[in-house]
Amino acid sequence: MVSRRSWVEQVMGLPISVLARGEGAGSEAAEVAVRKVFAELIEVDRVFSPYQADSAVSLLARGEVSWDRVDPVVREVAERCVAARELTGGLFDAEVPGGGWDPSGLVKGWAVERAGEWLREVGDVDWCLNAGGDVLVVCPSTEPFTVGIQDPRDPGRVVASVPRTGGAVATSGTAARGAHLYDPRSGGAAKSRWLSVSVTGPSLEYADVLATAAFVAADGWPDVLNALPGYEGLGILADGNLFATAGWGER
């Protein structure tokens, strides 16, 4: 019987779970790696959360700190946001209406991807790191995890699944947080007949960015995924119908 162990903590305002599978799942090395993952994500939330008054994002918004005085990691994320905007033709943009800056659409995927490096150091364990539905998979054994895609009309139901031996699955839509996504082209809320778009690919940072941009693109979402090789998508319509790109479901 394959050994399994799981951990769950509330970070960034959402449940983050780690599943370990393999002989080393119960080892001290696995425990240490997971604690480092959570510690890193807590620190990222401290720096980037727009809901914490003393975060860099909040201080910048209030004009209490200038860009040349923030931690270098904040400037790194800002540069990544600019690159994401260019990659998506402006469909993803951390500059929000009214002149604010909110990198949340990139930070979670970037942070989880970076924190996942701690898991890669434990070579005899397969890992599935789930940050509120955005999933990073690390499988040295090459045995896949099956990642479920939530029904945006019924959070308790899975409408599709995709096997992954590595890489990421990210989903963007309005089911969990309502109409929180905006369209940089109009400056208003993103409008689409698609309830969600899920994206698979090598990097969770880019899968998350592309999922956001794809949702904003509405019916043009499959074309957005052509911005980078190795990314595929699944869209769910309001009537429950699904549409997948040609490579969806590949490991």
pLDDT tens per residue across span 133-152: 999 999 999 999 999 999 99
Tell me, what's the pLDDT at 175? 60
Tell me, what's the pLDDT at 174? 73
Tell me, what's the pLDDT at 1? 67
Is residue 213 in a domain? yes
Tell me, what's the pLDDT at 5? 97
Angle of the 204-217 helix axis to the 104-115 helix axis, nearest 10: 160
Cβ atoms of residues 195 and 149 within 8 Å: no
197 pLDDT above the threshold of 90: yes
Tell me, what's the pLDDT at 98? 75
Tell me, what's the pLDDT at 178? 47
Q: Residue 162: which domain range? A: 4-244
Per cent of the chain over pLDDT 90 is 84
Is residue 11 in a domain? yes
Mean pLDDT of the chain: 93
Q: Which has more confidence, 176 or 244?
A: 244
Going by C-alpha positions, the residue among 1, 40, 4, 30 that lies closest to residue 19 is: 4
Is residue 177 in a domain? yes
Tell me, what's the pLDDT at 58? 95
> Mean pLDDT over residues 157-164, rounded?
95
Angle of the 104-115 helix axis to the 72-87 helix axis, nearest 10: 110
Is residue 250 in a domain? no
pTM here?
A: 0.94
> Mean pLDDT over residues 159-170, rounded?
96
Is residue 249 in a domain? no
Q: How many domains does the chain have?
A: 1
Is residue 58 in a domain? yes
Is residue 251 in a domain? no
Is residue 227 in a domain? yes
Going by C-alpha positions, the residue among 37, 39, 38, 50 that lies closest to residue 77 is: 50
The residues, ordered by sequence, that sit 6+ positions from 106 with a Cβ below 8 Å of its Cβ are 77, 80, 81, 84, 92, 94, 205, 208, 209
pLDDT band of 188, cuts 50, 70, 90: confident
Give per-residue pLDDT as tens, 40-79: 999 999 999 999 999 999 999 999 999 999 999 999 999 9
Pairing type for strands 134-138 and 95-96 reads unpaired
One-letter amino acid at 172 equals S
Q: In CATH, what number is assigned to the domain containing residue 12?
A: 3.10.520.10
Give per-residue pLDDT as tens, 200-214: 999 999 999 999 999
Cβ atoms of residues 230 and 250 within 8 Å: no
Going by C-alpha positions, the residue among 122, 169, 125 that lies closest to residue 143 is: 125
For residue 234, what are its two tokens? 């699944």
Per cent of the chain over pLDDT 70 is 97
Tell me, what's the pLDDT at 176? 53
